[in-house]
Structures are given as structure tokens and as C-alpha cells.
Amino acid sequence: MSLNQRIQHQAAHKLEHALGDPNNPDSIMSYKRVMELDEQESFQEEFYQYLLSLKTHHHYVPAALGGKFETYEQLYALGKVLARRDLSTAVTMSTMIWSTLVWVGGDKILKQHCADVTLSNNGAQCLAYSEEHHGSDLLANELTATEVEDGFILEGEKWPINRAARSEVVMLLARTANESGGRNLSLFFVEKSKIDCSTFTYISKVKTHGLRGCDICGIKFNKTHIPKSALIGPIGGGLEIAIKAFQVTRTLCASLSIGALENNLRVVMGFATQRRLYKGNVFDIPNARHHLTNAFTDLLITDALGSSLSRALHVIPKQFSVLSAVAKCFAPYKLDQAQKDLATVLGARFFFREKHKEGIFQKSLRDSQVVSLFDGSSEINLYSLTTQLSLLARRQDKLFAITAETTSSKLSNIFDASTQLPTFRGEKLDLSSHGRDLIMESWPQIIAALKHASGTLHNADKILFLAEMVFNKHQQNLQRIANHVEQKSDMQSPRMFKIAREYCVVHAAVCSIQYWLNNTQNSDVFINKADWLIVGLQRLLLELNIDIEISEQHLTQVSNELLHRSQAALSYGLVPLELPELSLIPAEEIA
């Protein structure tokens, strides 16, 4: 069975077709209507209600609690579909993911209650962590929850919050003790319909550069009483639960960046193939084709990282203090640059807010730049990585020195997309990976597998050559980290931030190679021939300051595939899905 027929992609395929062709002004989420709402800075109520009618929100609730959630790979695939249409709507819908806080930290009763609320049509959550004067410094939060005999009294305000005024539930981080430290913050499941509405008010909607239609405002509590049952986990355990839930949401942010780039790549491909210049079209111009091909390659490499890590959440959740930071640092950074390169292909039309596809390119570009700020900015995630680099380096250096091959069955569960995933165990998320990164530790296995595949898998020798160069660079970085530790240098120095970013780049290389090695029986001919992987590894090496020339034939094969998928209405990811053409398909539940 090919991967596009498997369950993790079927809901995404049905959603894609239920939404219709965005070029058709009669489609529910057409470019025309998306841009009308964006120009008005209006909330996408009609889109949101349509998604509710499709039961899309049921995918955020575990099947054991009455929903349709089976794996994060499914949510990842759905996120890409929504982000391809309208990132504002995708972000609005994604607030449902904050139910993860309850799956991670709540008791059995609260989990079922959260499931029931989420499954109802008005049961969306919003996240109230940050405050205007403290930003991402959660330890400095001032909003208090004072314990009384029959519950807690809330006092203070949170800002900014996506969907603060349009969510039934506020997932609230509040101070429950006056002392400093992480154990003085607690999490609460605040249902607005069950508290005195006269005790809270909304802070005005914020004007934003991107995501103009999102309901981004704030909320202020004034002696608001909430019941004891609203507490998520133990008193003082809020920050730990909050950070663990971020490990899930940061990983899924990759789907938003991929969807936004895929939309804009398709928009620019439409322009490049239709715009006649110099006795040909724009796609015939070598430099334009180069930018388009590179964007396609970057999308495939990032998809390998994102899809693999969404599966890894089920397999090695204890290591996601590292892996979630890798996903969050790599995907928005890599794909935002690809979007900017695509803008040069559009030329003058990049500066028009209409004409070509209603101006959707400019909107998608604006919106996608916000993703890097979600759930802790890229810089915060790089900082998190630097705090763990010394332990990671020590373990990996020791394993690589004895060329220990990682033979764990967990690796095939992560990378073989045809295997069934175990149930997600949120309680296994940890604040530290304790030096473990099973994916990066698989380098010796990768090298051995590529040597074994020589002569049997197409392009294996060329991939081995490029892989060894990436691996050598990684080993050099491990030594640099060791020297930094030995000299007691600042592990948060700019140099260490650079090494942390390169750690993410190397991770993307590992995931891409492992994906290719593990899915040769399930993928199409293009993915199996691996020209995309050769071009992708060359581009990753450039980010590691290593410039390697490859044969032009590899670029040509990737370019030809991009043109084929554009003409055949196939999605651009590792698993190509059929896209709707100019016809409206009757809506059905996205099961």
C-alpha cells in the first residue's frame, strides 16, 4: 500500500477536497474570500464554522476519550492542508492543540471533561501564558491565583492571546505563591461560561503585521472565582506541564511553515509557467527555475524532519526537550528564506496586493514569518539546545568513537511511515533528554546502511559521499563543544548558538536520509531515486559552510518533478496527494 493511502494521510486528503480548489471563487476557502477577510482584518468565522461542521476539531481529542486523534502524524498532515489555504485559519484551528496540557497533566476526570468540551462546537481553547511586561519570561508572571476554601481567585491580566475573546476555555498559567521560582506557577482550565462574566474583561485586539484575521487580544481578571476542579495537575506544577506541552506544539509548528511555503510555491509556479518572456516562460529562465527547485527541495527536506519528528513523539517522547527545539528552529528559519527567494521570481507582482492570485502570496509570506515566534521564539529554542549540548556531545562522541550502530527497533518505528505507532504517552515527556538523541545517535547505522545499499539503491554512493561530509562536520562540532566545556567558556555564547543551529541542520540531514532508507518500498519513483535528497544534502552542507558541486542532472530531475506535480495537481510533500481541481466536492466529515 502506498503511503498516500494510509490512514495518517486520508483525513488530510478528505479535508483538501472538502475545501475545494482555492482558485475557484465559489470554493469555501477560495483565495478571493481569504483575501477579502484579510483586507478587512476580519476573523475567519465562516471558515472556522465550516471546519467544525466537518468535525475537524475531533482530531484534537484522543479516540479513547471519544475523539478521532490517533497520531500526531495525522495532525501534522491536517496542519499542512489548512496552512496551504490560509495560515490565519490554520493558526485559529490549532488552538485546539492546547488540550495537550490536560492530556499531559490532568487527572482522569479532567481529561474526559476536556474531551467533552473540545468535542462541542464552542469548545476551543486559548493559551494564556504571557504578559505584556514580561513576554516569554514566564517566571516573572504577575497574574495570581489565590487559593480559597472553595477554589481560587484570579487577579491580573494576560496578553497577547490568540482567540482570547472567542474561546470557551482559557488555559491559564498563574502564580500560586509569592516566592520566586518555577514551583510557584500553576495551570488552570478556566471555562468562561462557568465564571462570573462581570469579573473579567478583554483587552483590545492587537493590529499585527501577519495573521490579520486572528483574534489576538488579551484578558483581564478582577477577583474572578474559579473552582478547585479547574486546576491542571498539582499546585506549583504548572510551569513543568507548560514546558512539556510546548514540546508537542513546537514540533507541529513545522506543518504551518511547510503549508505556507507549499501554497506560495504553487502560486509562483503558476506565474512562472504562464508568464511569457523572452520567447519562453519564466520557468525556462535558469535562475528562476533554480529558486523554484531549491524551494521544492527545502520543502521536501523539512517535510522529512517534520513528519519523522511527529512520529517520534509516540516513540521517544523523553527526548523532546531536544527534538522539539530542533523542529522549531529549523523549519521556520529554512522555509522563510525559501519564501523570500520565491518573491524574487514574482518580480514586480510581489509588490501588488492584487492581480496575481488575489495577492495571496504576500499574505502567506507575512503570516508565515510569525510562526518562528510561536511557543517560544527560535532564539529561545536555540538557547534551550545550548543548555543540553554538552551532554549530547559527550554521549554521541563516545558512541561514534566505537562506531556503535544503533539497532533499536524504535528507529524503524520513527522513520518507516508504514508501521503502526504506539499510543502517545504524554506523561513520558521530560524537561531534559539527559544527553539522549536516538536520531542523531544513528549516524553509524546510516553510514553502514548506505555502504550496504551501494549498487542496490539508486544514488546510494552519492548520498554516502554527502552524508559522510555532514557527519564529519558534526563530529568537528562535537569536539568544539567539548573544548568549550573544558575551557569553561560560556555555553550561551554566539559561537555556541551557531553550533546549536548547525545541530538542527545536521538533524534534518539525518531525518531525510533515514526517511529515504526506510520507505523505499512505500514511496513513488521520484522519492526512491533520491535526486531530491542529493540536492537537499548539498543545500544543507551550504548551511554548514561546505560548498560541494553536484551533477546538474540531479537538479534537472527535481525541477522536472516540480513541474509534473504542478501540472498534475499533486501536493509537493514527500507523500504527494491529489489536489482538487475546478470542482466542488460535497462535504463530509473528515474521518
Domain ranges in the chain are 3-119, 125-232, 242-567
Q: Is 406 exposed, middle or buried (0-12, 13-18, 19+ CB in 10 A)?
A: middle
- Write the pLDDT tens digit of every residue in 315-332: 999 999 999 999 999 999
- State the pLDDT confidence band at 590, using cuts at 50, 70 and 90: low
* Strand-pair partners of 174: 186
Helix, strand, coil percentages, rounded to 5, for the chain: 60, 10, 30
- Distance (Å, rounded) from C-alpha 262 to C-alpha 339? 9
CB neighbour list of residue 315: distance below 8 Å, 6 or more residues apart: 410, 413, 414, 421, 422
- Architecture (CATH level 2) of domain 242-567: Up-down Bundle (1.20)
**In Å, how far from its chain's centre is CA 582?**
29
- Distance (Å, rounded) from C-alpha 174 to C-alpha 88? 28
pLDDT at 589: 56
pLDDT at 76: 97
- Write the pLDDT tens digit of every residue in 76-115: 999 999 999 999 999 999 999 999 999 999 999 999 999 9
Q: What is the dihedral of CA 410, 411, 413, 417, to 10 degrees?
A: 170
Dmax (CA) for the chain in angstroms is 80
The size of the chain, in residues, is 591
The verdict on domain 3-119 having CATH code 1.10.540.10 is: yes
User: SS3 of 417, please?
Assistant: coil
Average pLDDT of 340-366? 82
CA distances from 133 to 126, 142, 316, 371, 437 (A): 20, 9, 36, 21, 36
- Write the pLDDT tens digit of every residue in 511-527: 999 999 999 988 999 99
- Write the pLDDT tens digit of every residue in 371-423: 988 887 888 899 999 999 999 999 999 999 887 666 678 999 999 999 999 99
Q: Does 279 have pLDDT greater than 90?
A: no
Q: Which three cell numbers stand for residue 81?
A: 492542508
Distance from the first to the final alpha carbon of the chain: 19
Q: Does 283 have pLDDT greater than 80?
A: yes
- Are 370 and 216 a contacting pair, CB within 8 Å? no
- Distance (Å, rounded) from C-alpha 365 to C-alpha 372? 12
Q: Phi then psi for 301, rounded to 5 degrees?
A: -65, -45
- State the pLDDT confidence band at 223, using cuts at 50, 70 and 90: very high
Query: How many other CB atoms are there within 10 angstroms of residue 276's CB atom?
Result: 9
- Are 259 and 81 a contacting pair, CB within 8 Å? yes
What proportion of the chain, given as a percentage, has pLDDT over 90?
79
Query: Which residue bears the cell 556531545?
Result: 393
| Mean pLDDT computed over every residue of the chain | 92
- Please provide the CATH number assigned to the domain covering 125-232: 2.40.110.10
CA distances from 78 to 13, 439, 586, 589 (A): 9, 25, 19, 13
CA distances from 349 to 23, 225, 283, 467 (A): 18, 54, 16, 39
Rounded to two decimals, the pTM is 0.95
Gyration radius of the chain over CA positions: 24
Query: Which residue bears the cell 478587512?
Result: 40
Query: How many other CB atoms are there within 10 angstroms of residue 62's CB atom?
Result: 17
User: SS3 of 449, please?
Assistant: helix
Stretch among 346-360, 395-409, 489-503 having the lowest mean pLDDT? 346-360
* Long-range residue pairs from 419-423, CB within 8 A, at least 24 positions apart, any chain: 421/70, 421/71, 421/73, 421/311, 421/314, 421/315, 422/314, 422/315, 423/314
- Distance (Å, rounded) from C-alpha 516 to C-alpha 507? 14
- Distance (Å, rounded) from C-alpha 297 to C-alpha 307? 15
**Residue 323: closest CA among 302, 306, 337:** 306
Q: Phi then psi for 177, rounded to 5 degrees?
A: -150, 155
Instruction: Give the DSSP H/E element, type plus range, for residue 540.
Output: helix 531-543
CB neighbour list of residue 411: distance below 8 Å, 6 or more residues apart: 438, 439, 442, 445, 514
